[in-house]
Amino acid sequence: MRRWPIIPVFILILLVVAAIFAPLLAPHNPVRNSLFDRNDEPAWHPDSSGKFILGADPMGRDVLSRIIYGARVSLMVAAIAIAMGIIVGTALGLIAGYFGGYVDEIVVRIMDVNAAMPFLLLALIVVMVFGASLSVLMGVLALSTWAGPARLVRGQTLQIKTFDYVSLAQIAGASTFRILYKHVFPGVMNTVVVAATLSVGSVILSEAILSFLGAGVPPPTPTWGSMVSDGRDYLGSAWWVAFFPGMAIFLTVLACNFIGDWLRDRFDPRLRQL
């Protein structure tokens, strides 16, 4: 249990299975409402009708089914946004670290500008201009994920480009692209993998925050953040509406952070000796 992240991996596997097989696993239609079942208690509650395992929301929709379908949205948004951010960040980090000079200065200043901009304010402005949609949400999240990997890759590239095998490749007449792809990129690959894993939890949390604020995926598509937002006015009478999607966010982010920490320890030879 200490050497391998068994529980976090199990949680992520459960999340992936729920996202892929959501139509088969969900007991009810996640968008079908029934005012006769509004705020129905969970199945174990003595006053429950027994129709919904985790209860129903104020529109009479099954909370469990919406959580299962919400996992699909969270995984898709996180995967695409992180892939876009990692690709852009890795490319800029390699270019800045290898070429140095004015190129490095420009890229670093762009990173500083990105770090100085408040993410939530920027996201709300973008949503107001372009409208709330899945593509806009993924683009906004990608803007928040590229700078971190770019800084890490740049720092390692500055060190790797001074190694002898890179100098020998330059003397042999290898092109810049070949040097970056064949000699520098493999040296930063571990850092890229760890950065991507650690970004999953923060991206899922950011998506939930934006959905909570109404700047995420538009309804009736179920997302965990929007479910928490729907239940915030019913915490006293129907706590399950916000509690269970909130627990889904908490467990997913925690599992991703644990796996990211484990990968960092495994890939870092200094920590691996401990």
Q: Pick from 132, 126, 16: which is nearest to 74 by CA?
A: 16
Residues 71/14, Cβ–Cβ less than 8 Å: no
Residues 212/233, Cβ–Cβ less than 8 Å: no
Between CA 196 and CA 150 the distance in angstroms is 11
Q: What are the pLDDT digits (tens) for 193-225?
A: 888 887 887 888 888 888 888 777 777 788 888
Q: What was the pLDDT predicted at 196?
A: 83
Average per-residue pLDDT in the chain? 84
- CA distances from residue 224 to 62, 86, 102 in whole angstroms, order as listed: 13, 24, 44
Beta-bridged to residue 62, according to DSSP, are: 56
Is the backbone peptide bond immediately before 220 cis, with ω within 30 degrees of 0? yes
- Determine the angle formed by the axes of helices 240-267 and 224-231, rounding to 10 degrees: 140
H-helix or E-strand spanning residue 137 = helix 134-143
Instruction: Flag residues of the chain having pLDDT under 50.
Output: 273-274
For the domain spanning 6-272, the CATH number is 1.10.3720.10
User: Would you report the helix, strand and coil content of the chain in percent, each value rounded to 5?
Assistant: 75, 0, 25
Q: What was the pLDDT predicted at 274?
A: 47
Residues 15/68, Cβ–Cβ less than 8 Å: no
Beta-bridged to residue 56, according to DSSP, are: 62
Q: What was the pLDDT predicted at 82?
A: 87
Burial category of 114 from C-beta neighbours within 10 Å (exposed 0-12, middle 13-18, buried 19 and up): middle
Q: Which distant-in-sequence residues (6+ apart) come within 8 Å of 53 by Cβ?
A: 27, 42, 43, 64
Between CA 151 and CA 205 the distance in angstroms is 22
